[in-house]
Amino acid sequence: MQDVREYLRAYWAYVSTSLGWKKSLTVALVWVVGMFAPLGIKTFVEFPNWIGITWMFSWSLLSIVFAPYGMWKKQRAQNPGPIQPDRK
């Protein structure tokens, strides 16, 4: 549980310094709309349930994969890799 708290603290710091809250809320809104798009579309167009379930499952997997990308990118920029010796 301690790791989750540390992750959330780091994420909070990253969002507040790098992205700004307006951009973060926009991304969160796009995620919510994308997640529940099949429910909204289903009110107008009839399609099988498995399509909506597959969409939601895929959308959530993409979210899990790409969520930590911004923090990794920032951390990588702060901690450069090993210094390569000059090759002459």
DSSP state of 69: H
Contact 25, 12 (CB under 8 A): no
**Both structure tokens of 25:** 């809320």
User: What is residue 16's predicted lDDT score, i.e. its pLDDT?
Assistant: 76
pLDDT at 60: 82
Query: Distance between CA 27 and CA 62 in Å, rounded?
Result: 14
In one-letter notation, the amino acid at residue 73 is: K
Q: What pLDDT, on the 0 to 100 scale, is given for residue 14?
A: 74
Q: Could you state, in order of their start, the residue ranges of all structural domains in the chain?
A: 28-68
What is the model's pLDDT at position 40?
87
- Using CA atoms, how far apart are residues 24 and 20, in angstroms rounded to an integer? 6
Per-residue pLDDT of the chain (88 residues; tens, 9 = 90+): 677 787 778 777 777 777 677 877 887 788 888 888 888 898 899 989 898 889 888 888 887 766 666 666 666 677 765 555 555 5
Angle (CA) 12-10-2 rounded to 5° is 115
Phi, then psi, of 36 in degrees rounded to 5: -105, 15
